[in-house]
Amino acid sequence: MQSKRQRMAVEKRVRFKSWWLPWALIAPQMAIILVFFFWPAAQALYYSVQQQDAFGTNVVFVGLQNFRALWADESYLASFKTTAVFSVLVAALGLTSSLLLAVMADRAIKASALYKTLLIWPYAVAPAVAGVLWLFMFAPSIGVVSYALRAAGLDWNHLLNGTHAMILIVLAAVWKQISYNFLFFLAGLQSIPKSLIEAAAIDGAGPWRRFWTVQFPLLTPTTFFLLVINIIYVFIDTFAIIDAATSGGPGKETAILVYKVFFDGFKALDLGGSAAQSVVLMVILVGLTVVQFRYVEKRVHY
C-alpha cells in the first residue's frame, strides 16, 4: 500500500526547469486566497480583540474578553449542539438523497436531459429565497404542507415547536444543496467505465450489489469531496435560510453558530463579538477539515 502510494506520487510529480515558473503559475490562485481569505481572516482576528461602538468612533482593545463573554454565555454553548445536529442532518440527508437521484438519473434513458435540468435548477435559487419558499409551504395557518399535515392529524407549528423548526430549516438547506451534490455524483457515476459494471453484471451481480461493490467504492473521492464541501456549506452558508425561515427561533433552537455571527455582526452591529465568533467558527472548520483529510480520506480509493 505504502509503496504504491509513493510510486503514484512520483508519477504525478511534474518537474520544472525554471525556478520562477511554478511560482508564477500559482500566483493568481495565491492572490485570490490572500485577498479573499487571509486578509478578511486577519481582519476578523483584529476585530475580535476589540470592542467598538457601531460607528467605529470608539474603539477599545479588550484582549480576550469577547471570547470570555462567549464561553460565559450558555446559549452560545448550546448552539454548538444545535449546529452539530443541523450539520449532520443536512450533510447526511443531502448526500444520500442526491446520490439516489444521481443513480436514477444515470440510469434514466428517456428525457434524462430534462430530468437533470430540473434537478439543477434549485442551485440557482438564493438561500434567502429558498428559506422563504419553504417557510411559505410550512406556514402554520396558510401553508400547503401544514394544511395537509393538519388534515393528517399533526398540528404543525414551527413558531413554538423546536423540532418542527429544525425540520423546516433542514429541508430548506438540503433542498438548496441537492443540485450541487447531484451534479458531482452524476459526473462521478458517468466517469465509471461501463465495462466494469457490465463485467459485474455478467458475473451475476444484481443492481443493488453492483452499486455497493463497484459504483459506490469508485465514487468515494466524490463523496469525500462533497462531504467536506457540504459541511462547510452548512457551517458558513446557511444563515440566510435560517434568517428567512425561523430567525433562529423558537427560543434559540435553530440558532446555529453562523446565524449568531450574522445576527450579532449585521443586525446587532456588535463587530467585536461577531468577529470573535467567526474566529471560533474558523478554528472549528479548519479543525474539521483537517480531521476529514487525515482520517476520512484514508478510506477513500483514488
CB < 8 Å & 24+ apart, contacts of 257-266: 257/79, 257/80, 257/83, 257/281, 257/284, 258/83, 260/76, 260/79
Q: What b/e string do you get for 47-75 counting C-beta neighbours within 10 Å, with b at 16 or more?
A: bbbbbbeeeeeeeeebeebbbeebeeeee
Phi, psi (rounded to 5 degrees) for 51: -125, 125
Considering only 73, 80, 100, 287, the residue that binds other proteins (CB under 8 A) is: 73
Of residues 241-300, those binding other proteins (CB under 8 A): 247-252, 263-264, 266-270, 272-273
Site string for other proteins, 96-135 (x = CB under 8 A): ----------------------------------------
Is the CB of 62 or the CB of 137 nearer to other proteins?
Answer: 62
Q: Candidates 19, 28, 56, 295: give the one binding other proteins (CB under 8 A).
A: 56
Q: Which is nearer to other proteins, 156 or 263 (CB)?
A: 263
Distance CA 200, CA 194 (A): 10
Strand partners, 50: 61
Tell how strand 50-52 and strand 59-61 pair up: antiparallel
Tell me how far, at minimum, the Cβ of 29 lies from other proteins, in Å.
29
Residues between 158 and 187 with contacts to other proteins, criterion CB under 8 A? 159-162
Q: Which is nearer to other proteins, 161 or 292 (CB)?
A: 161
Residues that bind other proteins (CB under 8 A): 51-58, 60, 62, 69, 72-73, 75, 141, 159-162, 247-252, 263-264, 266-270, 272-273
